[in-house]
Structure 1
C-alpha cells in the first residue's frame, strides 16, 4: 500500500543533540521534568523516560563517549528497576527510593523496548550482553493493554533482528500483534480500537514488523493500512497535526491541542519501519513531516525545540509551545532527528 503524497515544505534537519539529555541526567538516571531548560529534581526519575533514553543512546551508530556513558547509566537504572519476576518499578524519588511496586504498565513495555534496542544495537558488547539478560527476564511476562504490549513488541523486534532464534522475543512479538489486533472493515475508521490515545503509530509499527519477522504473523497490508489511515487523519494542509493528549474517540469532535512530541516521534518510528520493510519512498515523506513539526511546520507555525539547549518543548497548546523542556519531549526530538539522518 502506498502512502499519502508528500506535500510538506522542506527545511534542513539539525543533527541530533544530546546536550539537554546530559543536562537532565545525573549519576543515577534521567530526571523526568524541567522548568524551561532547568531540571526539577523534586519530581525524580521514571523508568518510562530512562527506557526511552536507552533507545536513543543505543541507536547512535558511533556514539560519543558521553553518550555511551549515558547508555550505561540508563541500563543500570533499568536493571535496578527490574524485579526477579521481570516486572519493573516506574518511579524513583530523588532520595533514591522507589515510590511504587513493580508492575507491568507501559513502563514495563518501554523498558523491554529500551533493553531490546540496547541488546541489538549498542556498539558496546558489555551493554548488549547485560541488556539481553534483562530483556529475556522480562519478555516472559504479559499485559492485556495494547499500548503496553506494543512497546514491549518493539523491543522484541529489535532482539529478533539480531537474534532471530530468540524464542521469548518471538513469542512476545506474536502476542503483542495479537493483543493489538488488525484493522476493522470500515474504511472510515480502520483502527483496532474505538479511539486514538497516545503513541498510536507504535501499534501499527508492531503489526508491520511482525508481518515480516513472524511466520504466520499478521498481514503486512493490515499494518500499512492502519498507518496510512493514521497519517491521513493527522495531515492538515500538508502539515502533521497529531492527535492531542486528550485523544480522539470515534464519532467525537477532533481537537487540535495539546499536541505532544511523543506522538510525532512514534509516527516517525513507524514510517521508518514501513520504509525499510516496503522500500516505498513515500513513507520517507512521513519522517520529513515529523521533522517539520519540530521545525515549525505545525498548526501554530511555531518551532517546537530550542536550538540553544537542544531540548524540545513539552507540547503545542492553543497559545503556542509549552516552553518546559522535559525528558519525554527531548527524547522524542532526538529520536525523530535520528531517523532524519538516514531517511530525509
Structure 2
C-alpha cells in the first residue's frame, strides 16, 4: 500500500486553536471551540501523549505539553485518582475517580516521563505517574490505557517495578482471547479503542519475555484488523460497538478507532521486527485520507483539524479535540514508516 506517501508532518495548529492557558477545550463547532463544554482530563491526557511523542518539538508544541501537564497535575488528587471534567469557569464538575480518564492520564504522564525533550516535564510527569500508578481499576479499557503509560516508562526505565506491576495487571485485566478463531477476543463485546487492549497485551508479553502472552496479543490484533478490512480499506467498528452474534452496524465510525489501530500495529512492528504490521498503520492513515467506506477525507488541511466521525452522509465536520488528536497521533506514525 502507498496511501501514506506524501503525508506531511502532523499540524498542531488546530490543537493550539482549541487550547488556552488552562487546558484543551473538548468540543468545537466546525473549527471553532465551544467553551460552554469546558475541558476533560481524557483529552488533555491524549494531548500530552502526542506532544510528548514529537522528537524535535517546536516551542509552541512544547508549550502545549507544559499546559497539558499542568492541567493533569491540577486534576490529580492526593490519592492518585483524577478529576475528569472542568467547566470553563475553572470549577471541577466531578469527584476524583479511576475511570478511563485515570488510565489516559497515566498514559500521557508515562509518555511525557519517557519521551519529552524537556527535563522539567519528564521529572514532573514521573512524580504524577508514580502517584497514580499505585491505584487500580476493574475496567479493562481503563487498565489498558494505564498500562500503555507504564510501557512507556519501562522503555526508559526497564527496572521500574511500579510500572512493571501496572503493565502486568493491565494485561491480566484485559484477559486472554477466546480460542474460537471466529471471535479471537476476550469477552463477547467490542466497544471503543479496542486495539489498545491488544496493544497492552503485546507490550506486556514483550517486557515480561512471555512468548505466549505476546502471541495472544498479536492474535487479537490480527483478528481485529482483519475484521475491520473491507476490500483493502478500513471499515471501522462504529461508536456503538459490536456484540458477538448480533448484526454489525457500519456507522458512526470514530477517528479514535483508526488511531488506536495505528498505535497497536506500530507496537506490534517494534515488538516483532515484522514491518508487515506497518500495513495496518498505512490503512489507518488511509482512512483519514479518504480510503474508507464513504471515500471521504476525514480531516481539514486548511485548519489542521480532524473531523468528528464518518456518518452515512459523509464526515461530521465538527473538529473536536478527540478527533484532532487521533489525526495527529496517526500522522505521527506516517513520519516513521515513510522514513
Length-normalised TM-score, structure 2: 0.98
Q: Mapping of 1:81-96 within 5 angstroms?
A: 81-96=75-90
Cα 1:121–1:9 shift into 2, 3 Å: closer
Q: Which residue of 2 aligns with 1:338?
A: 332
2:262 matches 1:262: no
Task: Select 1:120's aligned residue among 108, 114, 119.
Answer: 114
> Would you say the 8 A contact 1:197–1:245 is kept in 2?
yes
Distance in 2 of aligned mates of 1:216 and 1:272:
19
> Would you say the 8 A contact 2:228–2:235 is kept in 1?
yes
Residue 14 of structure 1 and its aligned partner are, at CA, apart by 2.4
2:32 matches 1:32: no
Q: Deviations over 1:159-209 (max 9, x none)?
A: 011011111111100100000011111000010021110000000000111
3-state SS of paired residue (1:321): strand
Q: Which residue of 1 aligns with 2:94?
A: 100
Alignment root-mean-square deviation, CA: 1.1
Q: Which residue of 1 aligns with 2:283?
A: 289
Task: Select 1:141's aligned residue among 132, 135, 144.
Answer: 135
3-state SS of paired residue (1:95): coil
Distance in 2 of aligned mates of 1:114 and 1:218:
28
> Would you say the 8 A contact 1:11–1:292 is kept in 2?
no
> Would you say the 8 A contact 2:22–2:67 is kept in 1?
yes
Distance in 2 of aligned mates of 1:15 and 1:54:
18
Q: Which residue of 2 aligns with 1:3?
A: none
Gaps of 5+ in 1: 1-5
Task: Select 1:311's aligned residue among 302, 305, 312.
Answer: 305
2:191 matches 1:197: yes
Gaps of 5+ in 2: none
Distance in 2 of aligned mates of 1:169 and 1:64:
29
Distance in 2 of aligned mates of 1:52 and 1:238:
29
Q: Which residue of 2 aligns with 1:179?
A: 173
Task: Select 1:212's aligned residue among 206, 209, 212.
Answer: 206
Task: Select 1:80's aligned residue among 55, 61, 74.
Answer: 74
Count of matched residue positions in the alignment of Structure 1 and Structure 2? 338
Q: Deviations over 1:51-93 (max 9, x none)?
A: 0000000000000000000000000000000000100000000
Q: Deviations over 1:222-243 (max 9, x none)?
A: 0110000001000001001110
Task: Select 1:232's aligned residue among 217, 226, 231.
Answer: 226
Cα 1:340–1:83 shift into 2, 3 Å: same
Residue 215 of structure 1 and its aligned partner are, at CA, apart by 4.7
> Would you say the 8 A contact 2:4–2:286 is kept in 1?
yes
Q: Which residue of 1 aligns with 2:124?
A: 130
Q: Which residue of 1 aligns with 2:151?
A: 157
Residue 9 of structure 1 and its aligned partner are, at CA, apart by 5.0
> Would you say the 8 A contact 1:293–1:304 is kept in 2?
yes
3-state SS of paired residue (1:329): helix
Distance in 2 of aligned mates of 1:16 and 1:315:
19
Residue 217 of structure 1 and its aligned partner are, at CA, apart by 7.8
3-state SS of paired residue (1:219): helix
Distance in 2 of aligned mates of 1:10 and 1:133:
37
Distance in 1 of aligned mates of 2:48 and 2:212:
28
Q: Deviations over 1:89-139 (max 9, x none)?
A: 000000000000000000000000000000000000000000000000000
> Would you say the 8 A contact 1:210–1:218 is kept in 2?
no
2:59 matches 1:65: yes
> Would you say the 8 A contact 2:3–2:285 is kept in 1?
no
Distance in 2 of aligned mates of 1:210 and 1:90:
27
